[in-house]
Amino acid sequence: MAVLFEVPPATVEARNASRDRAAPVHIVRAHHQLLPDPAQLRAEGFAAEHP
């Protein structure tokens, strides 16, 4: 089973900016692009996903 937290990129960037040790914005954006969607998780063999 996989649990997905679909957080908009703008929210992720705002939360990152408020951290004491914020990651560079280009890193945050690149990481967000790597997150799988439900179809990708099913293709990887997860029996269920909860977006």
Give pLDDT, residue 48.
75
User: pLDDT tens digit string along 17-49?
Assistant: 999 999 999 999 999 999 988 888 889 998 876
Q: What is the pTM of this model?
A: 0.70
pLDDT band at 50 (very low <50, low <70, confident <90, very high): low
Contacts 24+ apart (CB under 8 A), 34-38: 35/4, 36/2, 36/4, 37/4, 38/4
For the cut 80, the answer to whether the pLDDT of residue 10 exceeds it is yes
